[in-house]
Structure 1
Amino acid sequence: MPSLNTRWDIFCTVVDNYGDIGVTWRLARQLVAEHSLAVRLWVDDLRAFERICPEIDINAAQQWQQGVEVRHWPSEWLPIDAADVVIAAFACQLPSAYMDVMAEREKPPLWLNLDYLSAEDWVTGCHGLPSVKYKSVQKIFFFPGFRPGTGGLLRERGLLEQRRKFQRDAQAQRQFLQGLGIERAPDAQLISLFAYENAGLASWLDVLAAGATPTHLLVPEGRILGDVARWLGVESLAVGAIDVRQALTVQVLPFIRQDQYDHLLWCCDFNAVRGEDSFVRAQWAGRPMLWHIYQQDEDIHLDKLDAFLALYTKGLSPAAAHAMNGLWQAWSAGQPIGDQWLSARKHWPELQENAEAWCLEQGLQADLAAALVQFYLNWI
């Protein structure tokens, strides 16, 4: 393990509201808690950070949260020592003044570009390769991933054991849900919905409302709320709103902190998630899921979607894999998914088994924080 005096700097520019800060905040906390490292997390948008960590003082230039030194990334950079390990999250551009300080160190720091998560084949070949160089400092690509030879996924120590214990404890789940104001009917399927705006939502809600099985749909505050409101025929939806349409109960939840969101995913029978952070957390829930991938220019996000689906559905029968592919592809294209949902429901036990098996398979790999620490140890 590196020296307790080893300092790590993580830089985060908030691009997609909560995904970037969600990943870097989890990583920073884990490096402190499990690897005894001194971590500074530089964030340019503390208001977005406050949504997932309500204790954040949005006006503070420097503060400590859960052992992490949180620094507001200023528009005017002041002189400060560079860390031993510098992580530029999601290819963000470091301040030029900080890069100069890195280059002035007697021993240059390990400079890592922590890239976006992808299941594409080329990721394994590029992981750990040199990127650009600034004076004496070499930047290196570091890719999270689903295959051996990548940096793995964020996973705290003991997470899967905690999840399994919680999912076996009906009373613990009931108490957690009640704490959020959720009263689940014994025969209702519980679904969480966290997504970008999506024109395909209405067809799914139509099918859920007309279904023979009652559905309780939990919608945390977010961008999909406008589409939900339009389907309900109301002007807007506020936190706490509950609306019942035939077999479907829709309930709006507040934006909750990360550990609560984990428990929400663990409670649900099916989770619709978006971006990167909630995508990974839904996989650790071991339940069937639906991913709304972040759209990119020239539809390059569809390559990422196809690559993940090829891995995720590998253990399914051809019919079940076809159903899941159809559901995910239609959802990411903003197309109606009612029929695709009904097709997927025909394979429900198999989809449940596959979700748990995928979770356990990914859990065999080193987690992202441990992989970063080991990379540093190999580097020195």
Structure 2
Amino acid sequence: MTQPAKPLEWDIFCNVIDNFGDIGVCWRLSRQLTVEHDCRVRLWVNELEAFQRICPEIDPQIPIQHVGGVEVRRWASTFPESVPGDVVIEAFGCHLPEPFVDAMAGCRAPPVWINLEYLSAEAWVSGCHTLPSPHPNLPLTKYFFFPGYGEGTGGLLREHDLEERRQGFCTSVEQQKDFWFSLGLPPPPADALVVSLFAYENSAIGDLLTVWARGEEPVCCLASESRTLAALEEFAGQSMRAGDTIRRGKLELRVLPFVTQQDYDRLLWASDISFVRGEDSFVRAQWAAKPMVWHIYPQDEGTHLSKLGAFLDQYTAGASQATAEAVRVLHNAWNGDLSGERHAPRITPELWQQWMDALPDLRNLAENWANHLINQEDLCSSLVRFCRSKL
């Protein structure tokens, strides 16, 4: 009789800099490894205060705690003596502590060392996925693991029951009512276009809100209390905080608190259109199967725009020319790339109308894209399979 494989022990290192995408990805991965693959996960995080924003159960004052079946540890500058697990994840090139690397090298069977990279749709990714990189001095090998969209990549994070939960929420009036009640808000008006807004600082936010306020169709904008708050206050002409609502013309603007990842998924499912940023919310918006606009993390010399273009090429590959043009033009304007040149982001009434004219086709495009992606092996399962092959 074949013996069941022993549970793998994982160490995941996450360095939170100034955003929530890194910890968002690491927390989803940690939970999925624990729940779906019976793994034992130790998650090292340098900023527990930031972690608490998306997981209220985290106590930033406790250096070692267990949340959701995951052992969470503060990654302090003075690193404690630790025995590495079977797999070590260096998330997004965060650079492991030297004492821990030395401990890895001292193991009788060195752990599988993974550098989990950022998601990209660029063509070169498949050629670099799982490439080994031997340590120059120690008997260790690091493997580069790339999330992605096609063959030869690691896929995307997706829990096995995600689509079932999405369908259940979208078809249940009671679940939707309970969701709004949990946020302390009434459901949006039945005739309003519901838009969730999560972005980095963006000079086009005021443009967008003004277009909605002066438009003909009611819009209910659900803006996360984040780095957009200053722009929201400038538009409103008053200070704002989570729980506040203002009305200007056809626009109802609600400021939402930071919510758990589970509630953020529900927010995406409840929205007609979602503006998202970074990586974690970007991936979840794709699984929501609704039209979305991605604010990609800005990089020096505009290298992020090549990454944006590579994604849009794949995302719109099966769309009509008009639909693809509507997607590309709005994304480029939102990210400050107009006619191939970098400009300050700008949204005009004409540009938004082009998007709205294409909205029925954009809905079909989003659904078809999600159905296409679901045929891929998910990132967590791909990681487990690869790491077991190296042990």
Q: TM-score range by the shorter chain?
A: over 0.9
Structure 2 counterpart of 1:107? 109
CA contact under 8 A between 2:14 and 2:91: conserved in structure 1?
Answer: yes
Residue 308 of structure 2 corresponds to residue 305 of structure 1 = yes
C-alpha distance in structure 2 between counterparts of 1:352 and 1:43, whole Å:
37
Alignment match, 1:378 = 389
Task: Output the amino acid matched with 2:175.
Answer: A
Structure 1 position 15, deviation (Å): 1.7
Q: Specify the alignment match of 1:174 in structure 2.
A: 177
What CA distance in whole angstroms lies between the structure 2 residues aligned with 1:315 and 1:229? 39
SS at match of 2:223: strand
Does residue 89 of structure 1 match 2:91? Answer: yes
Taking only the aligned residue pairs, the percentage that are identical comes to: 48
Partner of 2:340: none
Counterpart residue number, 1:162 = 165
CA distance in 2, matches of 1:112, 1:99: 12
- What is the match of residue 10 of structure 2? 8
Aligned residue type for 1:83:
G
How much does 1:214 deviate? 0.5
* Cα distance in 2 between the residues matched to 1:59 and 1:246: 45
Structure 1: state its 5+ residue gaps: none
1:75–1:213 distance in 2 versus 1, CA, 3 Å: same
Aligned position for 2:367: 356
Q: Does residue 71 of structure 1 match 2:60?
A: no
Q: CA deviation at 1:2?
A: 7.5
Pairwise CA distance, 1:16: 3.2
Answering whether residue 376 of structure 2 is matched by residue 365 of structure 1, we say yes
Counterpart of 1:44 (choices 43, 46, 50) is 46
Contact 1:201 1:227 in 2 (8 A): yes
Query: Aligned equivalents of 1:48 and 1:3: distance in 2?
Result: 35
**1:66–1:2 Cα change, 3 Å:** farther
1:198-217 to 2 correspondences below 5 Å: 198-217=202-221
Name the SS for the 1:88 alignment partner: strand
Q: 331, 343, 354: which is aligned to 1:343?
A: 354
Hey, what's the Cα distance between the residues in 1 that align with 2:73 and 2:5?
A: 22
Question: In the aligned structure 1, how far is the partner of 2:146 from the partner of 2:140?
Answer: 19
Moved more, 49-58 or 200-209: 200-209
Q: C-alpha offsets along residues 225-282 of structure 1, whole Å, 9 cap, x if unaligned?
A: 1111111222x21111110001000000111010000001000000001010000011
Task: Look up the match of 2:341.
Answer: none
Q: How many residues align?
A: 379
Matched, 1:195 2:199: yes
**TM-score w.r.t. structure 2 length?**
0.95
Contact 1:4 / 1:36 at 8 angstroms: preserved in 2?
Answer: no
8 A Cα contact 1:10 1:39, kept in partner: yes
Is residue 276–residue 285 contact of structure 2 (8 Å, CA) maintained in 1?
Answer: yes
Specify the alignment match of 1:280 in structure 2: 283
What SS does the aligned partner of 2:383 have?
helix
SS for the counterpart of 2:211 is helix
The AA in structure 1 aligned to 2:170 is Q
Higher mean alpha-carbon deviation, 188-197 vs 338-347, is at 338-347
Question: What secondary structure, in the 3-state scheme, does the structure 2 residue paired with 1:184 have?
Answer: coil
Code of the residue aligned with 2:300 in structure 1: it is D
Give distance in 2, aligned partners of 1:79 and 1:262: 38
* TM superposition shift of 1:323: 1.3
Q: CA deviation at 1:157?
A: 1.0
Matches within 5 A, 1:173-322: 173-180=176-183, 181-234=185-238, 236-322=239-325
Structure 1 residue 288 displacement after superposition: 0.1
Q: CA deviation at 1:5?
A: 4.2
Match in the other structure for 1:147: 150
Deviation, 1:78, is 1.8
* CA apart distance, 1:50: 0.5
Show CA shifts across 1:105-131 (max 9, x none).
111110000000100000011001012
Per the TM alignment, residue 8 of structure 1 is displaced from its structure 2 partner at its CA by 0.6
Q: Distance in 1 between matches of 2:347 and 2:186?
A: 26
Moved over 3 A (4+): 1-5
SS in 2 for 1:93: coil
Pair 1:78–1:175, CA change in 2 (3 A): closer
Which residue type is aligned with residue 382 of structure 2?
A
Q: Note the C-alpha offset of 1:182.
A: 3.3
Deviations 1:10-29 (A, max 9, x none): 00000232111110000001
- Tell me the amino acid that sits aligned with residue 359 of structure 2: W
Aligned partner of residue 50 in structure 1, secondary structure: helix
Counterpart Cα distance in 1 of 2:4 and 2:89: 16
| Contact 1:4–1:38, Cα closer than 8 Å, also in 2 | no
Given candidates 53, 56, 76, the residue that maps to 2:55 is: 53
Q: Of 130, 133, 136, which residue of structure 2 is paired with 1:131?
A: 133
1:128–1:142 Cα contact (<8 Å) kept: yes
Question: What amino acid sits opposite 1:184 in the alignment?
Answer: P
- The SS at the match of 1:207 is helix
Distance 1:327 1:2, change over 3 A: farther
Contact 1:188 1:214 in 2 (8 A): yes
Give the gaps of 5 or more residues in structure 2.
337-343
